[in-house]
Amino acid sequence: QSSLLHKYKGVLFSTMSSEALLDSLDSFDAREDDIFLVSYPKSGTHWVAEVIENIPNAGITLTSPIEWGDFSKFEELKVVPKRRVIPTHLNYEMIPVTVKQKQCKIVYIVRNPKDTAVSLFHYYRDNPNLPSTETWAEFLELFLKGDVVYGSWFDHVLSWEKHKNDKNILFLFYEEMKKDFVKSLKKITAFLDISVNDSEMDKIAQNTTFSEMKTNAVKENCDPNHTICALTSDKKLVFRKGVVGDWINYFTPKQRRVFDEVFTEKMQQSDVGRCLKEYTNAE
Ligand code: A3P
């Protein structure tokens, strides 16, 4: 466990996010037109990234996560000639101060935490960059305590929810993207101020389905410099099931009760929590 993860300010990070880089985040020089793609791991980051990359004439370059690497990272980001789309799993507090000052556009994707937990459980099992985990029961306990990579789902979502209505932030729900993809796509293009016609929309929808993305991931050679999630550059590890509600196959009634108690307590005041209730079936 210890060689793969390290604790920084109370939160677990992959050792691929060096302490030096995490220490120097505030020296990152944001550009006004930067777009940040933010999420807790396993919330649909690769999906949204693919959607944005598929927008015709968006004129963007998707970079690797801001917290991934050593502090030479910022030199690398400096030379990206086009508008940067920068993914990250950081909580709000750790986002570089210049991003906040310049009010860069931020797309935040959130997914119901039960499915997120199940997805992260599989990531822990399959991804050599994460510690192994014996059982679902054991993993769920760590998840609820926030003793997993990037810390507590609850803290992450709540830190971002405080800024949900800022004009430079767009909140997306994984479940809403599944239910009505075009609606979410329109939100994304409107937010980024890029006009896309109907046939282009159809094309984006076709290119970014789960099965299409999974097929491409299997065909693609994995390029270690082309990483969306700081926890792997191997996209084959990402496309598992891509459905809403898989949690029902994992939670025992007791685990469900314990989870719902924590959810209800932590998300008491949260609008996002209210939106997600439908999918967690919390009392
Ligand atoms: P599952 O493990 O439940 O299948 P992230 O990109 O943040 O790491 O999130 C990964 C999760 O998003 C995985 O969930 C993955 O299958 C799902 N996902 C990726 N692409 C998707 C798509 N095009 N449509 C639906 N789900 C997708």
Nearest-atom number in ligand 1 for the CA of 46 is: 6
- Known active-site residue 156: no
Q: Alpha-carbon distance 208 to 148, whole Å?
A: 29
The pLDDT tens digits for 10-33 are 999 999 999 999 999 999 999 999
Nearest-atom number in ligand 1 for the CA of 43 is: 7
Q: Is 44 in the pocket of ligand 1 (CB under 6 A)?
A: yes
Q: Is 24 in the pocket of ligand 1 (CB under 6 A)?
A: no
Nearest-atom number in ligand 1 for the CA of 49 is: 6
Q: Alpha-carbon distance 236 to 220, whole Å?
A: 9
Give me the pLDDT at residue 71, please.
79
Q: Is 74 in the pocket of ligand 1 (CB under 6 A)?
A: no
ipTM > 0.90 (yes/no): yes
Q: Is 241 in the pocket of ligand 1 (CB under 6 A)?
A: yes
Residues 6+ apart with CB under 8 A from 237: 123, 126, 127
Q: What are the tokens at 41?
A: 């791991």
Q: Alpha-carbon distance 4 to 141, whole Å?
A: 19
Q: Is 37 in the pocket of ligand 1 (CB under 6 A)?
A: no
**20: how many CB neighbours lie within 10 A of its CB?**
12
Q: How far, in Å, from the CA of 202 to the mean position of ligand 1?
A: 20
From atom 24 of ligand 1, which residue's Cα is the shortest distance away?
Answer: 210
Q: How far, in Å, from the CA of 110 to the mean position of ligand 1?
A: 12
Provide φ and ψ at 236, rounded to 5°: -60, -20
User: Kind of pairing, strands 5-8 and 11-14?
Assistant: antiparallel
Give me the pLDDT at residue 166, please.
97
Q: Is 46 in the pocket of ligand 1 (CB under 6 A)?
A: yes
Give me the pLDDT at residue 134, please.
86
The pLDDT tens digits for 187-226 are 999 999 999 999 999 999 999 999 999 999 988 877 777 8
Nearest-atom number in ligand 1 for the CA of 246 is: 3
Q: How far, in Å, from the CA of 47 to the mean position of ligand 1?
A: 7
Ranges of the chain whose pLDDT falls below 50: none
> Residue 242 CA to chain centroid, in angstroms?
14
Give me the pLDDT at residue 152, please.
98
Q: How large is the greatest C-alpha to C-alpha distance in the chain, in angstroms?
A: 53
Q: How far, in Å, from the CA of 220 to the mean position of ligand 1?
A: 17
Q: How far, in Å, from the CA of 214 to the mean position of ligand 1?
A: 9
- 0.95 surpassed by pTM: yes
The catalytically annotated residue of 46, 89, 122, 156 is 89
